[in-house]
Amino acid sequence: MDPRLVRRVQAVIQEFGYRPNFQARALARGRSHTIGLIVSEITGGNPFFSEIILYFERAAVAEGYEVLVSFADTETNPDHIAQCAARMQERQVEGIAVLTFGMEEQLAHCAIDVPIVYSGADHDLPGVRNVRINYLPGYRDAVRHLVEFGHERIGYLSGRLSWSSLRTRYDALRKAMKLNGVSLDKDLVAECDHTWSGGAMGMNLLLNTPKPPTAVMCCNDVAAVGALKTLAARGLQAGKDIALIGFDDLTICQFTQPALTTIQFAPRELAGLSFQALLEEIQSSAKKTNFEYKTRFILRESTCAPRN
């Protein structure tokens, strides 16, 4: 093309503030270049899923895709995930990533004819990619750390065990403890909400048991921060009076007092793996990468030996 013509066109675009019509361009090309992302819990102060959205969108935009985000409100409507997926298909998304960690089965019998990728689904479903999550490495190393300190009474703030993702974490913890020669006492498991207030309440329950645990592991970092509040209210300190370990490795872990030891379940990596798996499906790639995320133990300052 004539360089002079290019400069004239660019000058007109700048003068009149022209913006291309994305939808019209998509119709002309027969592709929307839009993908769907279904998440849960973007409310309630938990930053985990907001970080998932951030890193997933960054990965998508880098490859020329727009992202349509939907929040699966299964608390008020058990079928909401299926409705989210149906609305996305109506908007001609090219694929859907479902990062709800344990609520995916609601889509098993839905008539969705675009590629779907799950992350951490309990089991494989026909025609659906699943980014596997290996919870065991992080739990194994965390329990080993506590056992080497001399802990035998290890408590757990489990979250709702009716949620398959939290049940999977619970089962991984039990296996990790068995591998390290200790057992999980059911009396030291507090099935509380995986929220700030749930963690505070759960820690309160554990401290009120006849023989409280000397170490407590948590289903997520949010519950662990709630547990720190209860400890402070009782004049106790993690890393001195009791050992405390979270799960997720949210940014806040570096700024709590003390800095929170945790198991890394990184939103950045999960979002990246999920997008890459979905991109392979959209592009009908002959090579299907076996994506798996392995948790990792992150040692900071909130653990210690049992007090005599």
DSSP per residue, 108-145? TTS---S-EEEES-SS--TT-EEEEEE-HHHHHHHHHH
Q: Best-predicted range by mean pLDDT among 10-19, 39-48, 239-248?
A: 239-248
* Strand-pair partners of 34: 66
| Residue 188 counted as domain residue | yes
Look at residue 66 and give its three-state secondary structure.
strand
Q: Express each pLDDT in 176-223 by its tens digit.
A: 999 999 999 999 999 988 889 999 999 999 999 999 999 999 999 999
Which pLDDT score is estimated for 164? 79
| Residue 49 counted as domain residue | yes
Burial class (CB within 10 angstroms; exposed 0-12, middle 13-18, buried 19+) of 33: middle
| Residue 59 counted as domain residue | yes
**Residues 153 and 93 both lie in one domain:** no
**Which CATH number do you get for residue 56?**
3.40.50.2300
Mean pLDDT of the residues in the chain: 85
Which pLDDT score is estimated for 249? 92
Which pLDDT score is estimated for 108? 62
Find out whether 119 and 97 touch, Cβ atoms under 8 Å: yes
Rounded Cα distance, 194 and 62, in Å: 33
**Residues 53 and 128 both lie in one domain:** yes
288: pLDDT confidence band, cut at 50, 70 and 90?
confident
The answer, yes or no, to whether residue 169 has pLDDT greater than 80, is: yes
The answer, yes or no, to whether residue 159 has pLDDT greater than 80, is: yes
**Residues 274 and 126 both lie in one domain:** yes
102: pLDDT confidence band, cut at 50, 70 and 90?
low
Range scoring the smallest mean pLDDT among 37-41, 78-82, 135-139, 169-173: 78-82
User: How much of the chain, in percent, has pLDDT values that exceed 90?
Assistant: 52
Rounded Cα distance, 248 and 222, in Å: 9
| pLDDT (mean) for 292-307 | 94
What residue type is 246 in one-letter code?
G
The answer, yes or no, to whether residue 24 has pLDDT greater than 70, is: no
Domain of residue 225 covers 136-265
16: pLDDT confidence band, cut at 50, 70 and 90?
low
Structure tokens at 170: 């619970």
Look at residue 190 and give its three-state secondary structure.
strand
**Residues 233 and 279 both lie in one domain:** no
Which pLDDT score is estimated for 73? 72
What residue type is 115 in one-letter code?
P
pTM for the whole thing?
A: 0.84
Of 104, 31, 154, the C-alpha closest to 274 is 104
Rounded Cα distance, 48 and 13, in Å: 40
Find out whether 121 and 293 touch, Cβ atoms under 8 Å: no
| Residue 168 counted as domain residue | yes
**Residues 119 and 85 both lie in one domain:** yes
Find out whether 263 and 240 touch, Cβ atoms under 8 Å: no
118: pLDDT confidence band, cut at 50, 70 and 90?
confident
Range scoring the smallest mean pLDDT among 115-124, 179-188, 222-231, 274-283: 115-124
Q: HSE (CB half, 13 Å, CA atoms) of 37?
A: 27
The answer, yes or no, to whether residue 42 has pLDDT greater than 70, is: no
Which pLDDT score is estimated for 115? 86
